Amino acid sequence: MQLTVFAVGRMKSGPERELTGRYLGRLEKAGPAVGLTFAGVTEIAESRASDTDRRKADEGAHCLSLAEDRTTALVAFDEGGKTLSSDEFARWIARQRDDGRKRALFAIGGPDGHAPSVLERADLAVSLGRMTWPHQIARILVAEQLYRAVSILAGHPYHRQ
């Protein structure tokens, strides 16, 4: 199953981009052993629409265009989502793979969050906790958890309990 990250907002050069890249590089190397390949990051600029609903709709349309095919599992990172353990997240990914999903899209919304249409389409909404995180840190967290999920599924010692 292919894993793709969709993110609203451009990641600038710096330590956050480097750390995200480090985790995604590890994911790319370790994933194939457990049937998961990293297909990259699709990032779009934040919408310039004048109101929140229009901005979310514009950004959401881009996300949904990547998840039109129902063989794509869509995970929306959202403050109202479920709080999962790393093990639960890894098992969810494994179930999607084992159920024949061809792709999983992990969506990080913009400053206004996801459009209602994205949350309705999502197979899973996940919260990164009750705190608010800057976009760059949210990307690091998602990249690390994807790598951790692969490590868990591979039985690698990176994930210790």
Q: Does domain 2-154 have CATH number 3.30.750.24?
A: no
Q: What is the pLDDT of residue 8?
A: 97
CA–CA–CA angle 17, 22, 28 (5° rounding): 120
Q: How far apart are CA 41 and CA 4, in angstroms?
A: 6
Residue 19 identity (one-letter amino acid): L
Task: Indicate the helix (H) or strand (E) that contains 89.
Answer: helix 86-98
For the chain, the structural domain boundaries read 2-154
Q: How far apart are CA 5 and CA 143, in angstroms?
A: 8
Mean pLDDT by 10 residues, the chain (161 residues): 97 95 97 98 95 97 96 97 97 98 97 96 96 92 98 85 57
Q: What is the pLDDT of residue 158?
A: 79
Q: How far apart are CA 64 and CA 71, in angstroms?
A: 13
Q: What is the pLDDT of residue 20?
A: 97
Q: What is the pLDDT of residue 159?
A: 63
Among 89, 75, 96, 66, CA closest to 148 = 89
Residue 66 has which token pair?
């990547």
Q: What is the pLDDT of residue 88?
A: 97
CA–CA–CA angle 27, 32, 34 (5° rounding): 95
Tell me how far apart the terminal alpha carbons of the chain are, to the nearest angstrom. 26
Sequence-ordered list of residues with C-beta below 8 angstroms from that of 59, at least 6 positions apart, any chain: 8, 44, 46, 47, 109, 110, 112, 114, 115
Q: What is the pLDDT of residue 160?
A: 66
Q: How many CB atoms lie within 10 A of CB 49?
A: 14
Please say whether the dihedral angle defined by the alpha carbons of residues 83, 88, 92 and 94, taken in this order, is positive or negative. Answer: positive
